[in-house]
Structure 1
Amino acid sequence: MIKQFLMNLLLSFIWVALTGSMYYTNFVFGFLLGFFVLWIMNRNDIDQRYFYRVPKILSFVVYFLYLIIKANLQVAYDVMTPKYFMKPGVVRYPLNAKTEFEINLLSTMISLTPGTLILDISEDKTTMYIHVMYLEDAETFVKQTKTGLERRLLEILR
């Protein structure tokens, strides 16, 4: 998988050098073009993990940016209006993530989203306690986080 990623980077650098245009959009286009070329060349290989993970990573980045923008707009609206709409609460969140790396990455992603903060992780690493600034329903928050952020993150890592 590392070999395909490095080859993809090399192809995108070659594309940038051949076109003579040093813009990030040209690099991204070269990366996508290299990804397509590598996919065509390696269709019959046994190891296809790279070609499944790259689209999932891009999808995760777009989804995470959507979450951050949505939460920032919600907090900004609450700050700018005279009435506060926040309903703070602490949620007990059962974890599907098992390894320390998965738990750490998930807790970092949740904490980066405005309006949420990780308070604690249980000793047996099965539960995370999250402070949520705009908590309508704890079960809805847990369900949305499990089916959204945690599921997508674990698909990339596993």
Structure 2
Amino acid sequence: MIPHPLLSMALLLMWLLLNDFTLGHLVLGSVVAIFGGWAMASLRPDKPKMKKWYLLPKLFLIVFVDIIRSNLAVALLMISGKRRKQTSGFITVPLEIEHPTALAIMAVILTSTPGSAWLAYDERRKTVLIHVLDLIDEEQWIENIKHRYERLLLEIIE
């Protein structure tokens, strides 16, 4: 009846904290909490099958180092101001990944790295549109994404 009891209880508690504690708000909050739990249950994606889960720390380390390096590069770009010509642009990267969880992880990686943002995924063409703040070599970006992230994700997730 209640697929996510903790979520439903948290929703009810939040409802009561945001509104007056009356019998009507208790009933209405309970209805909202139960429907919220049902909605969350219908959004639950399939669990990925991890082929080589032991490669996850390697992926996390690569992403962590790339985020630090990218933060420094963006900070230097911002500090230098107009002295250096910025060449931001859009690139289309062909992907081999098809699993929704792997695609979501790839989107988080690319968006959490400062200076790049995942904009759109074309399921038909299996390509992703990415905005890059400092685009100097498009082919280098595509090669980095495919070899640093996609290759590892293909190994980790079926």
Amino acid at match of 1:155: E
SS at the partner of 1:117? strand
The structure showing larger relative contact order (alpha-carbon pairs under 8 Å, at least 6 residues apart) is 2
Aligned to 2:93: 93
Question: TM-score, length-normalised on structure 1?
Answer: 0.62
Amino-acid identity (%): 26
Aligned to 2:112: 112
Shift of 1:90: 0.3
SS at the partner of 1:105? helix
Aligned to 1:40: none
Question: TM-score, length-normalised on structure 2?
Answer: 0.62
Q: Does 1:156 align with 2:156?
A: yes
1:14-47: CA deviation from partner (whole Å, max 9, x where unpaired):
xxxxxxxxxxxxxxxxxxxxxxxxxxxxxxxxxx
SS at the partner of 2:118? strand
Amino acid at match of 1:120: A
Shift of the 111–125 alpha-carbon distance from structure 1 to 2, 3 Å rule, reads farther
User: In the aligned structure 1, how far is the partner of 2:86 from the partner of 2:70?
Assistant: 12
User: In the aligned structure 2, how far is the partner of 1:75 from the partner of 1:85?
Assistant: 13
Aligned to 1:15: none
Shift of 1:69: 0.4
Gaps of 5+ in 2: 1-49
User: In the aligned structure 2, how far is the partner of 1:104 from the partner of 1:65?
Assistant: 17
Amino acid at match of 1:135: L
State the number of aligned residues.
Answer: 108
User: In the aligned structure 1, how far is the partner of 2:123 from the partner of 2:97?
Assistant: 14
